[in-house]
């Protein structure tokens, strides 16, 4: 006899930012799952344990397929999609694609100290000329393939936490930095959306996003008094906030 079809469950999907992998959610996953919420963390192509797949072809659509593929393989529904840092760009594009193919599947978008793009932007668009020049120069050392991670102290991590993140970070595919993002904002922002602002200290490359979400209607804005990697520095507080958002999204 064939197995009966599974019933899709409400779920949280966690998408890491640049230089990271699913490993960064290690302290958060047991807290969310322990609360009875099905939770998955994806590692994007070219980083983390998938760093061996780094190539010049890795672009935003590669990462869109990473996330969509996980959602489809796990037969998820009523998804709260969380994107950290760079992954704010990514979950925006995922939302656009899924709203076209499976409207209603995504129940909430959570931008965790993340980029919030406009159509036609690239990841680099809101950055200062100095930041862009630095990352372009860094990528030249790899022939334009990738750019290296910073020391984790920039995320306000120290001691064992800093060492743990530094050991695991991997270079980020560079194509993603200047690639143009294509999406329909009406489709994307029809999904409820929230921004979690990590304020102590605020990371400068997220400044444009934190100003934007406070100037546009429709955003739920939450503050956490921690650095840019709250899944490492404040896992309990982050998990509680995500569980609250998930409960309201059902």
Residue-wise pLDDT tens digits, 99-140: 999 999 999 999 999 999 999 999 999 999 999 999 999 999
Active site positions, annotated: 85
Residue 23 domain boundaries:
10-249
Is residue 3, in this structure, part of any structural domain at all?
Answer: no
pLDDT band (50, 70, 90) for residue 9: low
Q: What is the mean pLDDT of residues 243-250?
A: 90
Burial of 212 (0-12, 13-18, 19+ CB in 10 A): middle
In a domain, 52, yes or no: yes
Whether 37 shows a pLDDT value over 60: the answer reads: yes
Identify the three-state secondary structure at position 246. helix
Domain count of the fold of the chain: 1
Residue whose structure tokens are 């489709």: 187
Q: Are 175 and 56 in contact (CB under 8 A)?
A: yes
Give the orientation angle of helix 60-73 with respect to helix 87-101, to 10 degrees: 60
- pLDDT at position 10: 82
Residue 5 lies in a domain: no
Q: In terms of DSSP bridges, do strands 172-173 and 38-42 run parallel, antiparallel, or are they unpaired? A: unpaired
Any domain includes 70: yes
Q: Got the DSSP string for 27-50?
A: TTHHHHHHTT-EEEEEPPTTSGGG
Please report, for the domain that includes residue 68, its CATH number: 3.40.50.1820
């Amino acid at each position: 006899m064939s197995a009966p079809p599974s019933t899709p469950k409400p779920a949280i999907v966690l998408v890491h930012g640049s230089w990271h992998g699913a490993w960064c959610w290690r302290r958060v996953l047991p807290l969310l799952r322990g609360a009875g919420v099905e939770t998955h963390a994806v590692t994007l192509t070219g980083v983390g344990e998938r760093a061996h797949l780094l190539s010049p072809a890795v672009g935003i659509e590669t990462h869109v397929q990473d996330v969509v593929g996980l959602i489809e393989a796990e037969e998820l529904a009523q998804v709260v999609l969380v994107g950290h840092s760079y992954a704010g760009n990514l979950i925006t594009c995922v939302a656009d694609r899924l709203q076209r193919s499976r409207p209603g599947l995504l129940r909430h978008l959570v931008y965790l100290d993340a980029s919030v793009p406009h159509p036609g932007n690239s990841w680099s668009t809101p950055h200062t000329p100095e930041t862009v020049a630095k990352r372009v120069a860094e990528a030249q050392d790899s022939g334009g393939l990738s750019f290296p991670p910073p020391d984790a102290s920039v995320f306000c991590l120290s001691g064992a936490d800093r060492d743990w993140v530094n050991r695991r970070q991997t270079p980020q595919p560079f194509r993603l930095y200047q690639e143009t993002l294509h999406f329909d904002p009406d489709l994307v922002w029809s999904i409820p959306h929230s921004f979690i602002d990590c304020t102590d200290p605020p990371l400068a490359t997220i400044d444009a996003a934190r100003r934007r979400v406070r100037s546009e209607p429709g955003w739920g804005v939450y503050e956490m008094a921690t650095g840019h990697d709250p899944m490492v520095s404040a896992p309990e507080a982050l998990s509680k906030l995500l569980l609250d958002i998930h409960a309201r999204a059902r």
